[in-house]
Structure 1
Amino acid sequence: MEYTILGIILMIIMLLYFKVADRFNIIDKPNQRSSHTEITLRGGGIIFWFSALIYFVQHIQTNYFFFTGITLVSLVSFWDDIQSLSNKIRISIHFLSITLIFIDLGLFDFFPIWGTFIVYILTIGLINAYNFMDGINGITGIYTLTVMGSLLYVNSNIQLFSDGSFIKYAMIASLVFLFFNYRKKAKCFAGDVGSIAIAFWVIYLVLKLILATNSLIWLLFLAVYGVDAICTIMHRLYLKQNIFEAHRLHFYQILSNEYKIQHRLVALLYGLIQAAISLLVVSLYQKNNDLIIFIIVILPLLIIYSFKFYLLNKSNLRLKA
């Protein structure tokens, strides 16, 4: 009943937000680098912050560092959705927010200074990678459901590391968002406020699980996004492009834009592949060396990603013809 009521409340909040977004013209206009072709309401991902707010109100004594952090990144991201901000301001707020969850997790007691610096870089990178990957209908909601479902399974069956409701609140918000976004013509897009906020939530939980089990293997719950984002950045650096500018070189963009595969199918494919990887990670956990598991997972993903260059070359030849 609790989750049904939460879903209804979030649905009402979303409908109210649509009126606000329409009133203040908070929209996403397509350009030549976009994967969509019609003007759509932006910022629907604010629902993730509202879900965090509802959870925080019920657990105010235990989640104030996390909630303060997700509020800061949501605020600056929503501002950026309305009016572009400099990268320095956004990164500074991300750094501050990440510091808050590091304090919450007691992470500064686990690593030396150089180790903490690496974790900062990794965390900021993962948050922005999650944002980079939000470009077609359904991909953020489906991928988030997959990751959160994997974390919930581990929490329930392998290692208790979090309140199960905390994970479920994110999953309910994802379902509500998908109701409006996982369509041929989406009612709304997540915007930076959505992709950054849910990335912050996901990474907080992944870090919490890593610290609880003393194993980095759980980073593979983000393997599909991670490989695509990192390899695409390396590709763009090779092409001497500005990695902070919009582009259409992610694998999902090639499939959606160049080969006209339906957005919802590509988004579902990303979720299914990540679900298969998460299942593999769970089954291999404590049975194999972490490095071996990373190799088993990452190498096939790199091979799949490299297929993108064949598709790009084939597409370019077709255009020249």
Structure 2
Amino acid sequence: MENFRLLDFLYQLSISPVYINIIGAFSFAFFITIISIPKIIRISFKKGLMDVPEARSSHVNKVPTLGGVALFFGIVVSTSIFATELGANYAFFLSAITILFFVGLMDDLLVVAPDKKLYAQLISTTLIIFGSGIMINSFYGLFGIYELNYWVGVIITYIVFIVLINAYNLIDGIDGLASGVGIVISLAFIFIFYRIFDYSIGILAISIVAVLVGFLKYNLSERFKIFMGDTGSMVIGFILTFMAIRFLYIAGLPSYSIVTAPVLLLFIFAIPVIDTLNVFIVRVLQKKHPLKPDKNHLHHQILKLGYTHIQTTIIIVIINIVFVIIGYYLRNLEINKLFLIFLLLSISFVALLRYLTYINNTNQKT
């Protein structure tokens, strides 16, 4: 009851409910995260729940991997209190992320086979498509395609969910990178959903920013370092994708008609999309299995140039911000022209990075 009295008191001060929810959601999610993580770190050390460095690891010491538990806890509590419409309109949303949470937790504790994680992602996506009714139903003229057949839309929605969830997971390779990119993407969605008055999804995006900011304090720490693990990367990746699909769904409504929405999302998800395509293409060209891990990710290429983890994270996050800004200012272009610009910028970025890496390797050999 005390919580309700506090809210009534704030309303009496003539503070807009929107601002109350924004401040409340951020505060709850942030403080829950920074309070929970130290306890998770202590338990991880006592029980030996640590990530052991291997050949591909970017760290040299054992590090706790259960940061995702705090992220999940902060998001669920914050949105349950301050985004009540989220539960009413998207009844299966919490069920979907809970499934991913437990499968991710099992993977961080026991190591789960990749196919089982894929099944969990498919089940969670099914709950969103058929439970909440959110799916891709149009390409808005991209490649000359407009309205999609229902089942074609369903299949494409599945593909987008699986690709983006795992693309976000793939960038979780160095300190702060997944969190930093996640914050940029979430900030873009905060701007979008408050502009179109979808406040419940806006609160969800605010909660993600809050938990990731709280997590960064420890992820970037030398003494109290922790990783988000698959628990965190799958849950955050799924929620970011959920918001993207929701945006596409709203963009097609007559009252909004945001005709460049699909390509705007490419600009928003620039780093995960570019990194995944880059790695996939390189592996295929090298005649390697496209799903076999290697060190061809964007962050690996920048690290080879001599930058530290923090510097590499800052560079990549800034690049994602630049893509978001470019996409926003060019949003009124014809959709296929905007897609071509995204493609040219992406290829130029990867080509420049490859060239700089080649020059750096050549100089080291001479």
TM-score greater than 0.5 by the shorter chain? yes
Determine whether 1:254 maps to 2:281: no
User: Deviation at 1:268?
Assistant: 1.5
Match of 1:149 in 2: 187
Cα displacement string for residues 169-193 of structure 1 (whole angstroms, at most 9, x for unaligned residues): 1110011111111346661111111
The 1:291/1:186 distance shift into structure 2, 3 A limit, reads farther
User: Deviation at 1:196?
Assistant: 1.1
What does 1:203-242 align with in structure 2 at a 5 Å threshold?
Answer: 203-214=241-252, 215-220=261-266, 221-242=268-289
User: Deviation at 1:217?
Assistant: 2.7
What does 1:165-314 align with in structure 2 at a 5 Å threshold?
Answer: 165-183=203-221, 187-214=225-252, 215-220=261-266, 221-256=268-303, 258-285=304-331, 287-314=332-359
Match of 2:145 in 1: none
Match of 2:44 in 1: 21
Match of 2:75 in 1: 52
Say whether the 8 Å CA contact 2:71–2:211 is kept in structure 1: yes
Cα displacement string for residues 72-114 of structure 1 (whole angstroms, at most 9, x for unaligned residues): 1121112112222222211111000011122344236945212
In 2, the alpha carbon distance for the partners of 1:15 and 1:248 equals 31
Say whether the 8 Å CA contact 2:93–2:132 is kept in structure 1: no
In 2, the alpha carbon distance for the partners of 1:11 and 1:4 equals 11
What does 1:102-121 align with in structure 2 at a 5 Å threshold?
Answer: 102-107=129-134, 110=137, 111-121=149-159
Say whether the 8 Å CA contact 2:91–2:132 is kept in structure 1: no
When structure 1 is superposed on structure 2, of 215-224 and 163-172 the one drifting more is 215-224
Contiguous gaps of at least 5 residues in structure 2: 1-22, 138-148, 253-260
Say whether the 8 Å CA contact 1:184–1:264 is kept in structure 2: no
Cα displacement string for residues 196-254 of structure 1 (whole angstroms, at most 9, x for unaligned residues): 11111111011101110123133221012201111111111222323433321112112
Say whether the 8 Å CA contact 1:137–1:263 is kept in structure 2: yes
The 1:229/1:176 distance shift into structure 2, 3 A limit, reads same
When structure 1 is superposed on structure 2, of 56-65 and 240-249 the one drifting more is 56-65
Say whether the 8 Å CA contact 1:209–1:218 is kept in structure 2: no
**Which amino acid is the alignment partner of residue 83 of structure 1?**
L
The 1:185/1:137 distance shift into structure 2, 3 A limit, reads farther
In 2, the alpha carbon distance for the partners of 1:171 and 1:108 equals 24
In 1, the alpha carbon distance for the partners of 2:28 and 2:76 equals 15
User: Deviation at 1:261?
Assistant: 0.5
Aligned length: 318
User: Deviation at 1:311?
Assistant: 4.1
**Which amino acid is the alignment partner of residue 210 of structure 1?**
L
Cα displacement string for residues 147-173 of structure 1 (whole angstroms, at most 9, x for unaligned residues): 11011111223x233422221111100
Match of 1:128 in 2: 166
In 2, the alpha carbon distance for the partners of 1:161 and 1:124 equals 25
When structure 1 is superposed on structure 2, of 127-136 and 270-279 the one drifting more is 270-279
When structure 1 is superposed on structure 2, of 24-33 and 144-153 the one drifting more is 24-33
When structure 1 is superposed on structure 2, of 241-250 and 88-97 the one drifting more is 241-250
CA RMSD of aligned residues (A): 2.2
The 1:178/1:40 distance shift into structure 2, 3 A limit, reads same
User: Deviation at 1:51?
Assistant: 2.1
What does 1:45-84 align with in structure 2 at a 5 Å threshold?
Answer: 45-58=68-81, 59=84, 60-84=87-111
The 1:49/1:315 distance shift into structure 2, 3 A limit, reads same
In 1, the alpha carbon distance for the partners of 2:347 and 2:221 equals 30
Say whether the 8 Å CA contact 1:76–1:90 is kept in structure 2: yes
In 2, the alpha carbon distance for the partners of 1:84 and 1:265 equals 31
Choose 1 or 2 for highest CA Rg.
Answer: 2
